[in-house]
Amino acid sequence: MINRHIKRQKRKIISLFLVLTLLFTVTPVQAAEQPVGEITFSIEKFTIGQGYFLEPQIVSIYPGDTYKSVLDRTIGEEGYITKSTSASGFYLAAIKNADLTGKAEIPRYISEADPLAPSTEVNVGNEAVPDLGEFAYGKDAGWVYSVNGSFPMVGMGACAPEDGDVMRLQFSVYGLGGDVGNNNMGASCLPVAKRESLTKAMASFNENRDKKELLKKPWIREAYDNAMDVLVDLEEPQASVDKALSWLNHAVASEKLAGIRLSETEKTMQYGETGKLTVVFEPSECAVPEGVRWKSSDNTVAWVEQDGTIYADMDGTAVITAEIGDYKTSCEVTVKVQEGQMLGDVDNDGRITSSDALLALQASVGKINLNVGAMTAADVDRDGEITSSDALQILQYSVGKIDHF
C-alpha cells in the first residue's frame, strides 16, 4: 500500500514538473521565409515548333535563390537531367517528357540562315524522346536561358533572380542559342523580336483569378489567342509583338465593352479619293482599336485598310464593316465619278488628244501623279487602275481608231 502511494505521488510530481516546464520554457519557432519579390518564368520550345513546355507564370523568389532553385520549385529536381551537381556549375542537359511527339517543325529563318543548320525536313532527330535536351535535332542544340532579354554567361546555379525579372528557359537548335537571339554568339545570332514585355503580360493574365471569365468575352479571347500565336512564332516581327501586347492590355482593360459604332453610317466619295472611318467604342474608355477587323463588301469599289482608311477605286456602292468580338457595325460607301471631266481628257482641256494618252502612260509607270479628276479621266476601262491599256485606248480614240471607251 505504502509503495503504491509513493509511486502515485511521484507520478503527480513528475506531471507537475512537466506542466511547469511547458509554462516557463520558451520554445523558439522558426518563422517561414517570406518572398522578396516575383519574377516571370517560362519554358519554351519555339525553335522546334512545339510551343510552351511551361506557359508564362509568376513565381515568388526568396533570399538566396538562384535560377536553378526557381527551376527546382517549378518542375522539380526529378523533372530534369543534369551533368553537374555543383550549384555554380549547374548544367541542364535535358528536361524530361518535354518532347512527347519526337517531331520538330523548325522555323525557316533558322534553316535558311546556314546550309548546315537543321530544318524540318533534314535534322538529326531526337534519340532521347520523350526527353528534350542536348544534341536533339541539331549538333549545337540544348537549353539556354535569358534574363530580361540578355543571356548570362554563367550557369543558372550562379545567377540570382531579382524582383521583376523575366526569365525564359529556351530550347535552341542552332548556334548555341543564336537562333533565339543570344548575341553572345556573334555571327550565329539571328534577329528575333524581343518578347519579354508580352511574356510578362501573359504571365499576369494567366495568374488572374478571373481568367476563365475574362476569356468568355470574345474580344478578350481574340486578343489572348493572338498574343499566344505571336509569342510562339519566332518569325513574327517586333511590330507584331508590340501590337499583340497593346491589344492584350487594351482588351483586358475593356472588360465592360458594350458595343461599337462607326463615325459615319453613310459616306459619299469621289473616284480616287481617300477617306477614313473610325470606330466609336461604348463606353469610350473601353477602346480596343488593335482588335477591330475591317472588310469591304466590294473591294473593286472601295478598299479598306485595317486602320479604317478607305480608297475609292470605282463608281458604285460598297458596305464597309468593322467587327470586334461579337460586335459589328457598318457604313455604306458610295463612290462617284467627278463631273465635268470626260473620260480620256486627262489634261481637262475639252479635247482628247495624244497628249492625254502620254499623261496616262506616264501615270501608269509612276512618272507623274494625277489629281482625282485626271485619274478618273485616265482610267477609261474603269477597272480602278491606270495602266498602259488605258493610255493605248486614249491614243486610239484620239486618232479615230475607236469611237468609245
Say which residue, 246 or 274, is predicted with more confidence. 246
Least confident of 23-32, 37-46, 113-122, 140-149: 23-32
Does residue 125 share a domain with residue 45?
yes
Report the first-to-last Cα separation within the chain, whole angstroms: 136
* Domain edge (last residue) among 141, 169, 190: 190
Domain assignment of residue 238, yes or no: yes
Give the whole-number percent of the chain exceeding pLDDT 70.
90
Give the span between the Cα atoms of 357 and 397, in whole angstroms. 9
Give the span between the Cα atoms of 260 and 282, in whole angstroms. 6
Does residue 177 share a domain with residue 138?
yes
Domain assignment of residue 6, yes or no: no
Least confident of 94-108, 265-279, 291-305, 340-354: 340-354
Does residue 53 share a domain with residue 139?
yes
Closest listed residue to residue 310, CA positions, set 272, 263, 281, 338: 272
Q: What's the CATH code of the domain at 327? A: 2.60.40.1080
pLDDT tens by residue, 130-159: 999 999 999 999 999 999 999 999 999 999
> H/E element holding 200?
helix 196-207
Does residue 63 share a domain with residue 110?
yes
Q: What's the CATH code of the domain at 383? A: 1.10.1330.10
47: which 3 cell numbers? 525553335
Domain assignment of residue 402, yes or no: yes
Q: Which DSSP category does 325 fall into?
A: T
Does residue 144 share a domain with residue 80?
yes
Domain assignment of residue 151, yes or no: yes
Does residue 301 share a domain with residue 186?
no
* Domain edge (last residue) among 190, 214, 237: 190
DSSP string, 12-41: HHHHHHHHHHHHH-----PPPPPP-EEEEE
Structural domain boundaries, residue 221: 198-253
Domain assignment of residue 30, yes or no: no
Does residue 284 share a domain with residue 239?
no
pLDDT tens by residue, 365-390: 999 999 888 988 899 887 889 999 99
Burial class (CB in 10 A: 0-12, 13-18, 19+), 103: middle
Give the span between the Cα atoms of 333 and 277, in whole angstroms. 10
Does residue 308 share a domain with residue 400?
no
pLDDT of residue 23 exceeding 70, the answer is: no
Does residue 110 share a domain with residue 221?
no
364 dihedral zone (left: phi>0; alpha: psi -120 to 50; beta): alpha
Least confident of 4-18, 36-50, 108-122, 234-248: 4-18
Does residue 292 share a domain with residue 186?
no
Q: Can you give the three-state secondary structure of 127-196, one letter per residue?
A: CCCCCEECCCCCCCCEEEEEECCECCCCCHHHCCCCCCCEEEEEEECCHHHHHHCCHHHHHHCCCCCCCH
8 A C-beta contact, residue 315 and residue 307 = no
Q: What's the CATH code of the domain at 62? A: 2.170.130.30
59: which 3 cell numbers? 513565381
pLDDT of residue 33 exceeding 90, the answer is: no
* Domain edge (last residue) among 137, 161, 190: 190
The mean per-residue pLDDT over the stretch 28-48 comes to 84
Does residue 241 share a domain with residue 180?
no
Domain assignment of residue 312, yes or no: yes
Domain assignment of residue 24, yes or no: no
Give the span between the Cα atoms of 330 and 337, in whole angstroms. 23
Domain assignment of residue 162, yes or no: yes
Alpha-carbon dihedral 132, 136, 139, 141, rounded to 10 degrees: -30
Q: How many domains does the chain have?
A: 4
Q: What is the pLDDT of residue 380?
A: 87
Does residue 171 share a domain with residue 98?
yes
**Taking each helix axis from N to C terminus, what angle separates 218-232 and 238-253, rounded to the nearest 10 degrees?**
150
